[in-house]
Copies of this chain bind each other. A is one copy, B any other.
Amino acid sequence: MKVIETVAGMRECRRQTAEPVGFVPTMGYLHEGHVSLVKRAKEENASVVVSIFVNPTQFGPKEDFKNYPRNTNRDLAMLEPFSDVVFMPSDVEMYPDKYNTWVEVNGLTGQLEGASRPGHFRGVSTVVTKLFNIVQPTKVYFGQKDAQQLLVIKKMTADLNINLEVVACPTMREPDGLAMSSRNTYLTPEQRKGAPVLYKALSLARDKWSKGEKDAEKIRLEMNKLIRKEPLAEIVYISIADALTLQEFSHLMQKPALVSMAVKFGKTRLIDNIILE
């Protein structure tokens, strides 16, 4: 497995990489969710590139960029069996002095995560465009856990005619239902015990839906009630929206519907979602 730290080095390496090339962009501190993406990329391509880059431009000034968990040695050991190349650029390699070009997807980025995290998706679309241009993959793999990010990247790829296929992969969960996330490591043991309440609320929504409930507001209220029973949980948003446009349903739901939420435990902000079809 080659580890490459410069754009020029990655381009050089790419010329010798067997096609098709599967690509998994990550911010490191890998867990089984990431590994599932890399395994899938390995199954579907002749070679696999993984990037590890904690992208500063997608963090707000009050967010956890500096404290975002990092453990490169462990990451590399986890990737070794599945990845051919790891691209691990420095901040200044990606954003040199006077960097000033931005990619924005309008329409899908003002609500949900975008509402809580202004500028977040501009940072995501920009870094993903850059990584796509550097790695020039055939297929790229993203987790369904970041549902809005996945939609934004699919829309950006289609709109900008980027010549690759975006593959959505299912959310990986702990045995108690908690969606895997690098940020789970921030949770205290007490908070960790309460954190499965996100998935419990999503499961409640699925249950109501499968029993014929079509009123989004009723389901949101039930989810809200369930989460409020968990004393350490603080709801940021609970959304039931059109899974393609992210238009919030006021009452009558249509499928596919994205049920998503952000919930804080202390300073730690967790997100999760399911799609109802």
Contact = CB atoms under 8 A, between A and B. Distances in A.
Interface of A: 7, 11, 98-108, 125-126, 129-130, 133-134, 136, 155-156, 159-163
List the 5 closest pairs (A to B, CB-CB), nearest first. Answer: A101-B159, A133-B161, A100-B107, A100-B106, A134-B161
18 contacts: A7-B161, A100-B105, A100-B106, A100-B108, A100-B155, A101-B103, A101-B104, A101-B105, A101-B106, A101-B125, A101-B156, A101-B159, A103-B103, A103-B160, A104-B104, A129-B160, A133-B162, A134-B163
A247 to B, nearest CB: 12
A107 B99 CA distance: 10
A7 to B, nearest CB: 6
A161 B53 CA distance: 16
A contact face: mostly helix, strand, loop, or mixed: mixed
Given A100-B106, A101-B104, A103-B160, 18 more contacts: A98-B107, A100-B105, A100-B107, A100-B108, A100-B155, A100-B159, A101-B103, A101-B105, A101-B125, A101-B156, A101-B159, A102-B106, A130-B160, A130-B161, A133-B160, A133-B161, A133-B162, A134-B161
A159 B104 contact: no
Contacts of A11: 163
Contacts of A100: 105-108, 155, 159
Nearest to A10: B161
A55 to B, nearest CB: 14
A90 to B, nearest CB: 14
A13 B156 CA distance: 23
Contacts of A107: 98, 100
A99 B157 CA distance: 11
A161 B8 CA distance: 10
Contact of A155 (B101, B103, B126, B133): B101
A125 B102 CA distance: 10
Query: Which among A99, A130, A161 has the highest number of chain B CB atoms within 10 Å?
Result: A161
A133 B136 CA distance: 11
A101 B101 CA distance: 13
Nearest to A244: B98
A181 to B, nearest CB: 27
